[in-house]
Structure 1
Amino acid sequence: MLGLLRTEGPATATTLAARLDLNTGATSYHLRQLAQHGFIEEDTERGNARDRWWRAAHDSTRTDVRTREDGGEDVEAYLMTVAQLYGDRLRAAVAEMAFLPEPWRAVGTLSDWEVRLTPARADALVQELVRLIESAEESEDPDAAPFAINLNAFVRPGQAWGEE
């Protein structure tokens, strides 16, 4: 829902329910949860009390995994959902690559690197990448298109940690 509000603009619970093949009660519940956690907000310029419109509160969602300790299972469930959605979106992008206009076929990357870093250096690297992405100027050029950037940075799973 958040992704749709961000990419397609404000919507009501009814329009989102139809778009996602959900019932309006479930959609309304999830919209209220998203609003409670600051991801979306009511679009007071549209609709009325019976016809509530919602919009994304931010242009991007950044999850600080440091909040995981405070959020417990709720944050872990959220992160698992985000990982699944990123995977789904990546699979869809790969499936559509052959159908892109020629100049867009060579743009992007599905690369990964593994480097040994201290926690402080890893955090500094993530913050530096975020600053670089946020500094990208959006273009009004007719050849411009929405360009998705996922930054996933984490300790490689399966590490054996010594006693602390």
Structure 2
Amino acid sequence: MENDNPGRTLDAGALKALAHPIRVRIYDVLSEQGPQTASTLAVIIGETSGSTSYHLRALAAHDLIKEVRGRGTARERWWERPRGRINLPGPDETQSPANRAAAQIVTAEFFRLRHQTLMNYLNRPANEQSEEWRDAGLVLTTILDLTVTQMQELQEELSAVVEAAIERYRGQEGQPGVRRVSLRAEIFDLPTPSTGRAASEQEPQ
């Protein structure tokens, strides 16, 4: 997600406001495609404009989105996602069951949409891509054997690369030849096998 500030960790109210598949989808569209109205969102996600308008108001009530200044009319308002990273709180035994459920709904829907975006890219026919962009993407997966300290170091290195890219290319939106792209960095430990060969004996994938 975009990062113009250290990030906002969603509180219980914001999490509950976002904990609806349509609202997560609206939030995702605003992140990927920029400002939209209730009508344009309705076309994109296949809902009525009345439905999208209702969900937009719910998101705006918790400052998850904001109205675009100087654009639109009283009847046709434009909405955007404020720039900056959002952080979803992880499972915490101090959370109420309702708050934990809301966090799980939001996280599950975000990652479902993230996976769908990746699959759409992988399944896009070559004739639907311009030649100069056709080989520009990269999907790379590998398996490493690391200590927890090494994984933390690698996580920091990857984060630094992403942060540097954000700063380097900030402000290019709308310029000729510029497209919005998805940049993903993932690193996490895999469950320890309970049967079969030890993890250290498995072949890299």
TM bucket normalised to smaller: 0.7 to 0.9
* Aligned CA distance change for structure 1 residues 146 and 53 (closer, same or farther; 3 Å): closer
Is 1:149 matched with 2:159? no
Is 1:107 matched with 2:141? no
Normalising by structure 2, report the TM-score: 0.60
1:106 shift after superposition: 2.7
Q: Secondary structure at the match of 2:66?
A: strand
- Give the Cα–Cα distance (whole angstroms) in 2 for the partners of residues 37 and 123 of structure 1: 33
**More displaced, 148-157 or 89-98?**
148-157
- Give the Cα–Cα distance (whole angstroms) in 2 for the partners of residues 45 and 159 of structure 1: 57
Normalising by structure 1, report the TM-score: 0.72
Please, which runs of 5 or more residues in structure 1 have no aligned partner? none
Q: Tell me the alpha carbon deviations over residues 100-132 of structure 1, each in whole angstroms, 9 at most, x when there is no partner.
A: 3334333222222333342x6545533432331
- Give the Cα–Cα distance (whole angstroms) in 2 for the partners of residues 16 and 54 of structure 1: 10
1:35 shift after superposition: 3.0
Per the alignment, residue 41 of structure 2 pairs with: 16
1:48 shift after superposition: 4.3
Question: Which amino acid in structure 2 is aligned with residue 151 of structure 1?
Answer: A
Query: Considering only aligned residues, what root-mean-square deviation do their CA atoms show, in Å?
Result: 3.1
Per the alignment, residue 81 of structure 1 pairs with: 109
Q: Secondary structure at the match of 1:43?
A: strand
Please, which runs of 5 or more residues in structure 2 have no aligned partner? 1-25, 195-205
> Which of residues 65, 79, 84 is equivalent to 1:40?
65
- Higher relative contact order, structure no. (Cα contacts within 8 Å, ≥ 6 residues apart): 2
* Aligned CA distance change for structure 1 residues 7 and 80 (closer, same or farther; 3 Å): closer
Give the structure with higher Rg (CA): 2
Identity of aligned residues (%): 27
- Give the Cα–Cα distance (whole angstroms) in 1 for the partners of residues 75 and 135 of structure 2: 47
Q: Secondary structure at the match of 1:39?
A: coil
* Aligned CA distance change for structure 1 residues 123 and 2 (closer, same or farther; 3 Å): farther
Alpha carbons 1:39, 1:58 under 8 Å: kept? no
* Aligned CA distance change for structure 1 residues 2 and 106 (closer, same or farther; 3 Å): same
* Runs of 4+ residues over 6 Å off in structure 1: none
Is 1:53 matched with 2:81? no
- Give the Cα–Cα distance (whole angstroms) in 1 for the partners of residues 86 and 186 of structure 2: 10
1:38 shift after superposition: 4.0
**More displaced, 4-13 or 85-94?**
4-13
**More displaced, 106-115 or 13-22?**
106-115
